[in-house]
């Protein structure tokens, strides 16, 4: 499940002009407008000619004419029209869609750079946020990055880290906040905060006062699992590679539910995210123990596409995340 959120304080970017693009595609020089590319992308996203026409505020006939003219210029059929099922991309259309998105994205980027240099950060910025991190990052991004930059049209989509990165590679997102252990091939990343796992115990546990613990000391204890794909696919594998095969007795897909079960003595867990208060939702105390010996890290990072140069606004967002990560690693100001 992917959830989408966007800032209510957005700026509408002016439409692209109808300038001609002279691009070499399939070995030949072809001519088409950026508007035609935008319409083609809209049809691919909507899945129907009528849906794309509505989204672009033009008539269905005008949309069909634009796509037909684009296919004539390219010299290949890009879409298969089905009366009942809308449109389906051909093999050529699938490849052309990727190229069209990159070209339109670059044109928007050039336009945005002019505005950014003149009046600060402006234009769209589509951010994916791994749902396991959103409680820790979404509020501060809204307050300290989105709100102070009203010229940005920030959209944040929460969901599974791998799924969000796939959308990043498809051109729908500019960046994804996720863990380094979750990265897919083909993306670059900037680490913004270290993520060394830790053991969480009930305050009354026999080891709670030790400050640190060997994973082998927990081998016979019940384990409370954060039951989400990235933990199953990465963290449990990491623990087994570190010498611990957890005895899973309880599980939940909710981070705070896992902490609550641990606080009630149902078992221990291993987490990466560290809330500033060692209390469960129902007010029971918890003990955080560092892991003795080597254990794989799962650092927090901003992932982005390797094929594109980050825009000014994306670079500003990465720098912002680096600053927040540094503050959190230093801990609260004792004064």
How far apart, in whole angstroms, are the C-alpha atoms of residue 225 and residue 41? 41
pLDDT of residue 177: 97
Listed in sequence order, the residues at least 6 apart from 162 whose beta carbon sits closer than 8 Å to its beta carbon are 182, 184, 229, 230
Residues 121, 319: contact at Cβ < 8 Å?
A: no
pLDDT at 24: 47
Res 20: pLDDT: 44
| pLDDT, position 334 | 47
Contacts of 12 (CB under 8 A, 6+ apart): 153
What percentage of the chain's residues is helix, strand, coil (to nearest 5)?
40, 25, 35
Cα–Cα distances (Å) from 111 to 103, 169, 172, 194, in that order, read: 12, 22, 18, 35
pLDDT of residue 27: 52
Q: How far is CA 154 from CA 58, 149, 167, 245, in A?
A: 26, 9, 16, 42
Give the pLDDT of the chain (335 residues) as one tens digit per residue. Answer: 445 554 433 333 334 344 444 444 445 555 788 899 999 999 999 999 999 999 999 999 999 999 999 999 888 999 998 877 789 999 999 999 988 888 887 777 676 666 556 567 888 999 999 988 998 999 999 999 999 999 899 999 999 889 999 999 988 999 999 999 889 998 999 999 998 899 999 999 999 999 999 999 999 999 999 988 877 777 888 888 888 899 999 999 999 999 999 999 999 999 988 898 999 999 999 999 999 988 878 899 999 987 667 788 899 999 999 999 999 888 655 44
- pLDDT value, residue 78: 93
Q: What is the pLDDT of residue 235?
A: 80
**102-123 per-position pLDDT tens digit:** 888 777 767 666 655 656 788 8
pLDDT of residue 75: 87
Cβ-based neighbours of 79, under 8 Å, separated by 6 or more: 43, 67, 71, 87, 88, 89, 90, 93
Rg (CA), the chain: 24
User: How do residues 247-299 score in pLDDT, each as one tens digit?
Assistant: 999 999 999 999 999 999 999 999 988 898 999 999 999 999 999 988 878 89
Q: What is the pLDDT of residue 233?
A: 77
Q: How high is the pLDDT of residue 105?
A: 76
Contact of 288 with 200, CB cutoff 8 Å: yes
Sign of CA dihedral 186, 132, 145, 324: negative
């Amino acid at each position: 499940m992917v959830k989408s959120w966007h800032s209510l304080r957005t700026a509408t970017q002016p439409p692209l002009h109808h300038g001609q693009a002279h691009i070499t595609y399939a070995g030949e020089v072809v001519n088409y407008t950026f508007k035609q590319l935008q319409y083609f992308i809209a049809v691919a996203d909507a899945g129907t000619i009528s849906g794309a026409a509505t989204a672009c505020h033009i008539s269905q006939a005008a949309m069909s004419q634009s796509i037909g003219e684009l296919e004539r210029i390219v010299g290949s059929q890009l879409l298969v029209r089905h009366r009942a099922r809308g449109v389906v991309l051909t093999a050529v259309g699938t490849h052309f869609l990727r190229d069209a998105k990159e070209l339109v994205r670059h044109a928007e980027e050039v336009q945005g750079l002019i505005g950014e240099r003149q009046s600060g950060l402006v234009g769209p910025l589509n951010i994916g946020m791994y749902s396991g991190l959103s409680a820790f990052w979404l509020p501060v991004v809204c307050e300290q990055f989105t709100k102070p930059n009203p010229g940005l049209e920030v959209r944040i989509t929460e969901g599974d880290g791998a799924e969000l990165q796939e959308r990043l590679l498809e051109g729908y997102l500019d960046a994804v906040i996720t863990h380094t252990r979750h990265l897919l091939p083909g993306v670059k990343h900037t680490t913004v905060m270290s993520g060394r796992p830790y053991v969480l115990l009930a305050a009354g546990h026999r080891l709670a006062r030790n400050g640190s613990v060997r994973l082998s000391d927990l081998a016979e204890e019940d384990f409370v699992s954060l039951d989400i794909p990235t933990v199953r696919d990465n963290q449990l594998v990491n623990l087994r590679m570190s010498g611990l095969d957890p005895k899973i007795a309880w599980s939940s897909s909710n981070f705070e539910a896992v902490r609550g079960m641990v606080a009630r003595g149902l078992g221990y867990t291993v987490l990466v995210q560290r809330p500033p208060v060692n209390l469960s939702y129902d007010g029971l105390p918890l003990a955080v123990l560092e892991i003795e010996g080597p254990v794989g890290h799962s650092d927090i990072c901003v992932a982005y596409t390797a094929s594109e140069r980050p825009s000014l606004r994306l670079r500003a967002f990465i720098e912002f995340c680096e600053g927040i990560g540094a503050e959190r690693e230093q801990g609260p100001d004792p004064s």
